[in-house]
Chain A
Amino acid sequence: METIFWILSAITVLGALFAIMLRNLVHCVLSLILFFLGIAGHYFLLRADFLGAVQILIYVGAVAVLMLFAIMLTRHVTGDEGPREVLGGKWWAGMGTAIIIAGLLWAIIRKDQLAQILPAGGAQTSMVEIGKAMVTDWVVPFEAMAVLLTAALIGAVVIALEEVIRRR
């Protein structure tokens, strides 16, 4: 188990890094897909089968493909704009933060006895259970999500519509 965890983590982190560092946008999206897959693998590892499946279906299958299409339709794929300064020359900042936080969190988790007494098995997450939970215990946030998506959709349409920019 442990080995699989590390391999998956490596895939995930590398995917994320490539997604923001590569020059070619298409390559970026492909890395992003890799990252999504890594996350899905983690879900499976945690025995959240449904979540893993959904991750693959929605993110890998739909979102990423949509992004690929969008990029290919709107941009010159090969036309590069020079090196991309992801961190604005402050890669040290990002790295430093990441390392410090990771180290600390690791230390905390190691030190914390609680981390060890957490149930290792994971919850029972069958689709039926999730489906039921959504319309029983979690019906309020579920409905709220529906409103949220509506609002977001309206917003997306409004913002995306072309309009003459009036400079101030």
Chain B
Amino acid sequence: MNHLIYLYGTDWGMGQFPICSVWMILFTPLVAAALITLLTGRQKGLSAALSIGAILISFALSLRLFLLFALKGIQHHPHPIQWLVVGNTVRINFGMTTDALALLMLLVVTGVGSAIHIYSLGYMKGDPGFSRFFACMSLFTFSMLGIVISSNFIQIFIFWELVGVSSYLLIGYWFERPSAADAGNKAFLTTRIGDVGMMLGILLLWSHAHTFEFTELKAKLPTLGLPVGTLALIGALIFAGAVGKSAQVPLHVWLPDAMEGPTPVSALIHAATMVAAGVYMLCRISWLILPSQTALWLIAWIGAITALMAATIAIAQNDIKRILAYSTLSQLGYMVMAVGLGGPTQAMFHLTTHAFFKALLFLGAGSVIIALHHEQDIWKMGGLWKKTPITFWTFLIGTLALAGVPPLSGFYSKDEILLLAIERNPMLFVMAVATAFLTAYYMGREVFVVFFGKPRDYHAYDHAQESPWVMTLPLIFLAALSIVAGWYSKVPDFLGPPHEAQRHSSLLTGGLILVPLFGFLVAAKIYWKAEPSDAPVKVALGNLWTLVENKYYFDELYHWIIQYVQGTIAIVCDVFDRWILQRLGIGGLSVGTGLLGRTVRLLQTGSISGYAFLIGLGVTVIIYYAVVR
């Protein structure tokens, strides 16, 4: 009986927290993905309807839970399902976390996800793999929601990898394009490097605490008496997972390439949700990293470096989506830095607002791309603001929000982080302000080049037209959110105890308002003309421009490393094997000689003896070792 109540939720009518709905939030998209794959692959419309319906249900239920909690303070702690128990030490649950952090993230994922799903209806129209696309999107939504509600490390890791797989499938969606397939592989492999560290960290932590549950670990951690070094090591290792997934330096190289995927995918996965999963995870386990100064220091610096570096790269890119990709990197760096500065609340706040305006920007970019028939080079655009007014205005809102212009949402969240930085680490504050300036500058550049000036490709310009309402409606929805998300200034409070800093240091806030304005001014000076170009900046920056234009040569460096180091190891191993085989006369399978002669030769030429010699030698050494010791 208990079991039944457990499955079907307790009591719907009494306003109690129906556990069932958490389940439904998670599993509805999975069911949709399964149905599309198994049944409705042929009927495109039905597939899309299933997928969109699923995420809308998830959204509605998330909203309900959120409101119940935010307004009435109703919060339950559902019992986890025991997934498996082995002996005394391995207990893994399939749990559901429904605290403030999770609820907020649920809302972000399903809300932004809904908008993007609807948008995809227009964007992917006529694509041969329409159904497959929606199935993958639903699979992704399921995995992402899984991360959000995870209550233990194993669960989060499993969904973490699932997200990776579905992202791999979606990036390589146009797998007819080799570049897309390569980008998918690159993303999968690069994030796996981070996951190696994460898995190690999880195992290490478990070997001391014998549990994977977040709540238990949180309670147990102070009593374990772990050495400072171990704690820092565990924190850093788990952070490595976030470095991979949230594309921080030095594992950031996959994100810009991931733009090969369809634009809605870029918006959903590589801007709003998946890449934010790293930050979310760090916030989820803030109790683990906050006690370790070393880990915090590392996280803060990696974040700050990523933020600044990506912003500098963004000023020299020409692809409308890649600029946004570097901007995403930069903003993720901001969030990670906030965590490192001891402010997970601020990080989550920025994550939320960023999800809205960055998804908006990507969708806007997608709208432009569609209007120009899959043209992504900003230097072939121009003057579009008259042709695509809704896209332009919403894009502008997104830009202003991203740059941090009050009273848009980005201003509030960024402000919080900057205040935190000046209090904790002035050096990082300087880097953050520089990033803020650059953000306004490169976004200004993009807006001026794309929407203003004279059209550079008249043919494309003439055919350009505003996107259909399924695409503009989500834009408007997200634009509205980008404006108001910061006003509900309780968001940080909602997540935890208010930050102690002088939030109303009006002087500082006033100063910070000027930063983005200054950035826009500089951008306007250079690019707000009929025929803008990069030339003046190129001259001014000199070699620096080449450096940032080539993204600090990270790709080349990694390519070199892979080519030479890993390639060499592989070849050495292979040659080692072949060498033994051939050198000792055992030979590979040399096909072509007569069977009998070959066989006899194999038996006669002492092929085995050479090998036996090696084995004998090895055995001798080991025996000697065993005997003498």
Residues of A within 8 A of B (CB): 84-90, 93-94, 96-98, 100-101, 104, 107-108, 111, 165, 167-168
A88 touches B616 (CB 8 A): no
| Nearest CB of chain A from residue B590's CB, rounded to whole Å | 12
B605 touches A88 (CB 8 A): yes
B616 touches A100 (CB 8 A): yes
B9 contacts chain A at the CB level, 8 A cutoff = no
Subset of 9 A-B contacts with CB under 8 Å: A86-B609, A94-B613, A97-B612, A100-B616, A101-B619, A104-B620, A104-B627, A108-B623, A108-B627
A87 touches B627 (CB 8 A): no
A-B contact count (CB 8 A): 57
A101 touches B607 (CB 8 A): no
* Residue in B591, B606, B607, B616 whose beta carbon sits within 8 Å of that of A167 in the complex: B591
Q: How far is A89 from B604 in the complex, measured between Cα atoms in Å?
A: 11
Asked, given contacts A104-B623, A108-B623, A165-B595, whether A96 binds B613 with beta carbons under 8 Å apart, the answer is yes
Q: How far is A16 from B617 in the complex, measured between Cα atoms in Å?
A: 22
A104 touches B607 (CB 8 A): no
Taken residue by residue from 67 to 99, chain B's Cβ proximity to chain A (1 for < 8 Å, 0 otherwise) reads as 000000000000000000000000000000000
Q: Is the interface of B mostly helix, strand, loop or mixed?
A: helix
B406 contacts chain A at the CB level, 8 A cutoff = no
User: Which residues B591-621 have CB closer than 8 A to chain A?
Assistant: 591-592, 595, 604-607, 609-610, 612-613, 616-617, 619-620
> What are the residues of chain A within 8 A of B591 when measuring CB–CB?
167-168
Q: How far is A80 from B620 in the complex, measured between Cα atoms in Å?
A: 37
List 10 other contacts, CB 8 Å, given A85-B604, A88-B610: A85-B605, A85-B606, A93-B610, A96-B613, A97-B620, A100-B620, A101-B619, A104-B620, A108-B627, A168-B591
B604 touches A100 (CB 8 A): no
A101 touches B620 (CB 8 A): yes
> What are the residues of chain B within 8 A of A84 when measuring CB–CB?
604
* Residue in A93, A108, A165 whose beta carbon sits within 8 Å of that of B613 in the complex: A93
Asked, given contacts A85-B604, A100-B620, A101-B620, whether A111 binds B609 with beta carbons under 8 Å apart, the answer is no
Taken residue by residue from 17 to 48, chain B's Cβ proximity to chain A (1 for < 8 Å, 0 otherwise) reads as 00000000000000000000000000000000
B616 touches A86 (CB 8 A): no
| Nearest CB of chain A from residue B291's CB, rounded to whole Å | 54
User: Which residues B568-607 have CB closer than 8 A to chain A?
Assistant: 584-585, 591-592, 595, 604-607
A90 touches B616 (CB 8 A): no
Interface centre among B584, B616, B624 (most CB of A within 10 A): B616
| Nearest CB of chain B from residue A166's CB, rounded to whole Å | 11
Identify the closest chain A residue to B604 (Cβ): A84
A93 touches B619 (CB 8 A): no
B606 touches A86 (CB 8 A): yes
B616 touches A101 (CB 8 A): yes
A88 touches B606 (CB 8 A): yes
> What are the residues of chain B within 8 A of A85 when measuring CB–CB?
604-606
Q: How far is A89 from B627 in the complex, measured between Cα atoms in Å?
A: 32
Identify the closest chain A residue to B593 (Cβ): A167
B617 touches A100 (CB 8 A): yes
Q: How far is A96 from B585 in the complex, measured between Cα atoms in Å?
A: 18
> What are the residues of chain A within 8 A of B609 when measuring CB–CB?
86-88, 90, 93-94
| Nearest CB of chain A from residue B618's CB, rounded to whole Å | 10
> What are the residues of chain B within 8 A of A165 when measuring CB–CB?
595
| Nearest CB of chain A from residue B619's CB, rounded to whole Å | 7
> Which 8 pairs of residues, A with B, have the shortest CB-CB distance?
A88-B606, A97-B616, A93-B613, A87-B606, A88-B605, A100-B620, A87-B609, A97-B613
